[in-house]
Amino acid sequence: MNPVQGEKREEVPPPYHVIHKLPPGDSPYVRAKYVQLVDKDPEAAIVLFWKAINAGDRIDSALKDMAVVMKQQGRAEEAIEAIKAFRDRCTRQAQESLDNVLMDLYKKCGRIEEQIELLKQKLRMIQQGEAFNGKPTKTGRSHGKKFQVTIKQETSRILGNLGWAYMQQGNHMAAEVVYRKAQLIDPDANKACNLCLCLIKQTRYAEARTTLADVLQGKVSGSDDPKSRNRADELLQELEQYQSGQSSSNSSRLNIEDAFVEGLGQFVNQRAPIRSRRLPIFEEISSFRDQLAC
Protein backbone atom coordinates (compact mmCIF):
# COMPACT_ATOMS: atom_id res chain seq x y z
CA MET A 1 0.00 0.00 0.00
CA ASN A 2 1.47 3.30 -1.08
CA PRO A 3 1.70 6.06 1.52
CA VAL A 4 -0.79 8.88 1.20
CA GLN A 5 0.63 11.80 -0.76
CA GLY A 6 1.87 14.52 1.56
CA GLU A 7 1.95 12.20 4.57
CA LYS A 8 5.03 12.83 6.73
CA ARG A 9 7.30 9.81 6.89
CA GLU A 10 8.78 8.77 10.21
CA GLU A 11 12.48 9.50 10.24
CA VAL A 12 14.71 6.56 10.99
CA PRO A 13 17.39 7.48 13.57
CA PRO A 14 21.01 6.83 12.61
CA PRO A 15 22.60 3.63 13.85
CA TYR A 16 23.65 3.46 17.48
CA HIS A 17 27.37 3.39 16.71
CA VAL A 18 27.02 6.53 14.60
CA ILE A 19 25.26 8.49 17.36
CA HIS A 20 28.01 7.68 19.85
CA LYS A 21 30.84 7.84 17.28
CA LEU A 22 31.65 4.19 17.83
CA PRO A 23 33.23 1.91 15.26
CA PRO A 24 30.92 -0.97 14.24
CA GLY A 25 31.39 -4.50 15.52
CA ASP A 26 32.05 -6.17 18.85
CA SER A 27 35.83 -6.44 18.97
CA PRO A 28 37.97 -5.64 22.07
CA TYR A 29 38.69 -2.15 20.74
CA VAL A 30 35.00 -1.43 20.07
CA ARG A 31 34.11 -2.55 23.61
CA ALA A 32 36.80 -0.27 25.00
CA LYS A 33 35.41 2.69 23.05
CA TYR A 34 31.88 1.85 24.26
CA VAL A 35 32.99 1.92 27.88
CA GLN A 36 34.91 5.16 27.29
CA LEU A 37 32.23 7.10 25.39
CA VAL A 38 28.92 5.57 26.52
CA ASP A 39 29.52 4.21 30.02
CA LYS A 40 32.02 7.01 30.66
CA ASP A 41 34.18 4.78 32.81
CA PRO A 42 37.78 5.77 31.94
CA GLU A 43 39.52 3.32 34.27
CA ALA A 44 37.57 0.38 32.86
CA ALA A 45 38.22 1.69 29.35
CA ILE A 46 41.98 1.67 29.99
CA VAL A 47 41.82 -2.00 30.99
CA LEU A 48 39.90 -2.82 27.81
CA PHE A 49 42.31 -0.81 25.65
CA TRP A 50 45.13 -2.92 27.09
CA LYS A 51 43.19 -6.05 26.11
CA ALA A 52 42.71 -4.70 22.58
CA ILE A 53 46.47 -4.03 22.26
CA ASN A 54 47.35 -7.49 23.53
CA ALA A 55 44.81 -9.04 21.14
CA GLY A 56 46.27 -7.10 18.21
CA ASP A 57 42.93 -5.33 17.60
CA ARG A 58 43.42 -1.89 16.02
CA ILE A 59 46.64 -1.35 17.94
CA ASP A 60 47.25 2.07 16.37
CA SER A 61 43.98 3.52 17.66
CA ALA A 62 43.93 1.54 20.90
CA LEU A 63 47.36 2.75 22.01
CA LYS A 64 46.67 6.36 21.11
CA ASP A 65 43.21 6.40 22.72
CA MET A 66 44.48 4.68 25.85
CA ALA A 67 47.28 7.23 26.25
CA VAL A 68 44.80 10.12 25.92
CA VAL A 69 42.51 8.61 28.57
CA MET A 70 45.50 7.99 30.86
CA LYS A 71 46.51 11.63 30.54
CA GLN A 72 42.98 12.71 31.48
CA GLN A 73 43.20 10.46 34.55
CA GLY A 74 46.50 11.95 35.71
CA ARG A 75 48.51 8.96 34.55
CA ALA A 76 50.64 10.78 31.97
CA GLU A 77 53.92 9.15 33.00
CA GLU A 78 52.36 5.72 32.58
CA ALA A 79 51.01 6.75 29.18
CA ILE A 80 54.50 7.78 28.03
CA GLU A 81 55.93 4.39 28.97
CA ALA A 82 53.04 2.61 27.22
CA ILE A 83 53.67 4.45 23.94
CA LYS A 84 57.40 3.79 24.12
CA ALA A 85 56.82 0.11 24.83
CA PHE A 86 54.22 -0.63 22.14
CA ARG A 87 54.71 1.87 19.32
CA ASP A 88 56.92 -0.59 17.44
CA ARG A 89 53.78 -2.71 16.98
CA CYS A 90 51.99 0.19 15.29
CA THR A 91 52.01 1.00 11.58
CA ARG A 92 54.30 3.59 10.05
CA GLN A 93 51.29 5.79 9.31
CA ALA A 94 50.43 5.98 13.03
CA GLN A 95 53.86 7.17 14.20
CA GLU A 96 53.23 10.87 13.58
CA SER A 97 49.99 10.93 15.57
CA LEU A 98 51.71 8.99 18.37
CA ASP A 99 54.46 11.62 18.39
CA ASN A 100 51.83 14.33 18.79
CA VAL A 101 50.28 12.50 21.76
CA LEU A 102 53.74 11.96 23.22
CA MET A 103 54.49 15.68 22.85
CA ASP A 104 51.40 16.59 24.89
CA LEU A 105 52.38 14.04 27.53
CA TYR A 106 55.91 15.47 27.81
CA LYS A 107 54.42 18.95 28.30
CA LYS A 108 52.04 17.61 30.95
CA CYS A 109 54.92 16.01 32.85
CA GLY A 110 57.34 18.91 32.42
CA ARG A 111 59.83 16.69 30.59
CA ILE A 112 61.27 19.52 28.50
CA GLU A 113 64.49 17.80 27.41
CA GLU A 114 62.55 14.93 25.84
CA GLN A 115 60.11 17.38 24.31
CA ILE A 116 62.98 19.26 22.68
CA GLU A 117 64.57 16.07 21.36
CA LEU A 118 61.28 14.93 19.83
CA LEU A 119 60.79 18.31 18.15
CA LYS A 120 64.30 18.10 16.69
CA GLN A 121 63.55 14.62 15.41
CA LYS A 122 60.42 15.89 13.66
CA LEU A 123 62.46 18.65 11.99
CA ARG A 124 64.98 16.10 10.77
CA MET A 125 62.16 14.01 9.32
CA ILE A 126 60.92 17.04 7.38
CA GLN A 127 64.41 17.74 6.03
CA GLN A 128 64.78 14.10 4.95
CA GLY A 129 61.39 14.09 3.22
CA GLU A 130 59.89 11.59 5.68
CA ALA A 131 57.17 13.83 7.15
CA PHE A 132 53.58 13.48 5.95
CA ASN A 133 54.58 10.06 4.61
CA GLY A 134 56.50 11.81 1.83
CA LYS A 135 53.56 13.99 0.73
CA PRO A 136 53.68 17.82 0.49
CA THR A 137 50.53 18.30 2.58
CA LYS A 138 48.46 16.49 5.18
CA THR A 139 44.87 16.81 6.38
CA GLY A 140 44.40 18.42 9.79
CA ARG A 141 41.31 18.79 11.96
CA SER A 142 40.17 21.66 14.15
CA HIS A 143 36.75 21.95 15.81
CA GLY A 144 35.42 19.20 13.57
CA LYS A 145 36.60 20.85 10.34
CA LYS A 146 39.23 19.50 7.97
CA PHE A 147 41.98 21.63 6.48
CA GLN A 148 45.22 21.13 4.59
CA VAL A 149 48.57 21.69 6.30
CA THR A 150 51.64 22.34 4.17
CA ILE A 151 55.20 21.31 4.96
CA LYS A 152 56.03 24.99 5.28
CA GLN A 153 53.32 25.56 7.90
CA GLU A 154 54.24 22.41 9.81
CA THR A 155 57.92 23.38 9.90
CA SER A 156 57.09 26.82 11.29
CA ARG A 157 54.73 25.31 13.87
CA ILE A 158 57.34 22.82 15.09
CA LEU A 159 59.99 25.54 15.29
CA GLY A 160 57.58 27.67 17.30
CA ASN A 161 57.08 24.82 19.76
CA LEU A 162 60.85 24.27 19.93
CA GLY A 163 61.41 27.95 20.65
CA TRP A 164 58.85 27.86 23.44
CA ALA A 165 60.49 24.77 24.96
CA TYR A 166 63.86 26.56 25.00
CA MET A 167 62.17 29.50 26.71
CA GLN A 168 60.88 27.18 29.43
CA GLN A 169 64.51 26.20 30.03
CA GLY A 170 65.52 29.84 30.22
CA ASN A 171 67.66 29.41 27.10
CA HIS A 172 66.47 32.62 25.44
CA MET A 173 69.43 32.81 23.07
CA ALA A 174 68.59 29.43 21.52
CA ALA A 175 64.90 30.32 21.49
CA GLU A 176 65.68 33.53 19.60
CA VAL A 177 67.54 31.68 16.84
CA VAL A 178 64.69 29.21 16.43
CA TYR A 179 61.97 31.88 16.41
CA ARG A 180 63.86 33.93 13.81
CA LYS A 181 64.08 30.85 11.61
CA ALA A 182 60.34 30.17 12.07
CA GLN A 183 59.48 33.76 11.17
CA LEU A 184 61.48 33.51 7.95
CA ILE A 185 59.41 30.49 6.92
CA ASP A 186 55.87 31.45 7.95
CA PRO A 187 55.68 34.61 10.10
CA ASP A 188 52.82 35.18 12.53
CA ALA A 189 51.97 37.45 15.45
CA ASN A 190 52.30 34.85 18.19
CA LYS A 191 55.87 33.90 17.27
CA ALA A 192 56.74 37.59 16.82
CA CYS A 193 55.60 38.26 20.40
CA ASN A 194 57.62 35.30 21.67
CA LEU A 195 60.68 36.53 19.78
CA CYS A 196 60.14 39.96 21.32
CA LEU A 197 60.07 38.37 24.78
CA CYS A 198 63.32 36.50 24.04
CA LEU A 199 64.98 39.80 23.16
CA ILE A 200 63.60 41.49 26.27
CA LYS A 201 65.06 38.72 28.42
CA GLN A 202 68.44 39.45 26.80
CA THR A 203 67.99 43.21 27.48
CA ARG A 204 68.03 43.95 23.75
CA TYR A 205 65.15 46.37 23.96
CA ALA A 206 65.58 48.26 20.68
CA GLU A 207 65.47 45.01 18.68
CA ALA A 208 62.49 43.84 20.71
CA ARG A 209 60.60 47.03 19.89
CA THR A 210 61.34 46.60 16.16
CA THR A 211 60.07 43.03 16.27
CA LEU A 212 56.92 44.08 18.10
CA ALA A 213 56.24 46.82 15.54
CA ASP A 214 55.42 44.16 12.93
CA VAL A 215 52.48 43.06 15.09
CA LEU A 216 51.34 46.54 16.10
CA GLN A 217 51.40 47.66 12.46
CA GLY A 218 49.58 44.56 11.24
CA LYS A 219 52.45 43.30 9.08
CA VAL A 220 52.24 39.64 10.09
CA SER A 221 49.48 37.04 10.06
CA GLY A 222 47.31 37.05 13.16
CA SER A 223 48.00 40.68 14.05
CA ASP A 224 44.27 41.40 14.06
CA ASP A 225 43.57 38.67 16.61
CA PRO A 226 42.48 40.34 19.89
CA LYS A 227 44.65 38.06 22.04
CA SER A 228 47.77 38.76 19.97
CA ARG A 229 47.02 42.48 19.96
CA ASN A 230 46.54 42.57 23.74
CA ARG A 231 49.74 40.64 24.28
CA ALA A 232 51.64 43.00 21.98
CA ASP A 233 50.29 45.99 23.92
CA GLU A 234 51.38 44.41 27.21
CA LEU A 235 54.87 43.73 25.84
CA LEU A 236 55.09 47.31 24.59
CA GLN A 237 54.28 48.63 28.07
CA GLU A 238 56.89 46.30 29.54
CA LEU A 239 59.42 47.52 26.99
CA GLU A 240 58.78 51.15 27.80
CA GLN A 241 59.44 50.44 31.47
CA TYR A 242 62.66 48.57 30.77
CA GLN A 243 63.93 50.89 28.07
CA SER A 244 63.71 54.00 30.17
CA GLY A 245 67.31 55.13 30.64
CA GLN A 246 68.76 51.88 29.29
CA SER A 247 70.43 50.98 26.00
CA SER A 248 70.29 47.81 23.98
CA SER A 249 72.85 45.15 24.73
CA ASN A 250 75.17 44.04 21.95
CA SER A 251 75.86 40.65 23.48
CA SER A 252 76.96 37.88 21.15
CA ARG A 253 73.89 36.16 19.74
CA LEU A 254 75.39 33.00 18.38
CA ASN A 255 77.38 31.75 21.34
CA ILE A 256 75.03 28.79 21.75
CA GLU A 257 76.14 25.50 23.21
CA ASP A 258 73.26 23.50 21.74
CA ALA A 259 74.77 21.72 18.73
CA PHE A 260 71.45 21.35 16.99
CA VAL A 261 70.66 25.07 17.08
CA GLU A 262 74.22 25.93 16.12
CA GLY A 263 73.86 23.68 13.10
CA LEU A 264 70.59 25.07 11.80
CA GLY A 265 72.40 26.82 8.97
CA GLN A 266 73.89 23.54 7.80
CA PHE A 267 70.53 21.84 8.30
CA VAL A 268 68.97 23.79 5.43
CA ASN A 269 71.88 23.27 3.04
CA GLN A 270 72.16 19.49 3.18
CA ARG A 271 71.40 17.21 0.27
CA ALA A 272 67.90 16.70 -1.10
CA PRO A 273 65.41 14.54 0.89
CA ILE A 274 65.57 10.85 0.19
CA ARG A 275 61.96 10.31 -0.95
CA SER A 276 60.98 13.73 -2.24
CA ARG A 277 62.37 16.65 -4.16
CA ARG A 278 64.19 19.36 -2.25
CA LEU A 279 61.61 21.46 -0.42
CA PRO A 280 61.49 25.16 -1.37
CA ILE A 281 61.25 26.25 2.26
CA PHE A 282 64.81 25.15 2.94
CA GLU A 283 66.02 27.19 0.00
CA GLU A 284 64.12 30.24 1.31
CA ILE A 285 65.82 30.15 4.71
CA SER A 286 69.31 29.06 3.72
CA SER A 287 70.74 32.50 4.49
CA PHE A 288 69.19 33.01 7.91
CA ARG A 289 72.45 32.42 9.76
CA ASP A 290 74.15 35.20 7.79
CA GLN A 291 71.28 37.53 8.62
CA LEU A 292 71.56 36.75 12.33
CA ALA A 293 75.30 37.27 12.29
CA CYS A 294 74.99 40.82 10.92
Residue 58, domain CATH:
1.25.40
The rounded distance, in Å, linking the Cα atoms of 1 and 146 is: 45
Give the three-state DSSP class for 140. strand
Domain of residue 121: give its range: 113-177
Residue 4 inside a domain? The answer is no
pTM: 0.74
Residues 6+ apart with CB under 8 A from 196: 208, 211, 212, 232, 235, 239
pLDDT tier at 66, thresholds 50, 70, 90: very high
State the DSSP code for 93: G
Residue 126 inside a domain? The answer is yes
Mean pLDDT of 265-282: 42
Residue 293 inside a domain? The answer is no
Residues 106 and 121 in one domain: no
Residue 259 inside a domain? The answer is no
Mean pLDDT of 205-217: 94
| Boundary (domain end) residue, out of 156, 177, 198 | 177
Least confident of 18-27, 109-118, 142-151: 18-27
The rounded distance, in Å, linking the Cα atoms of 63 and 72 is: 14
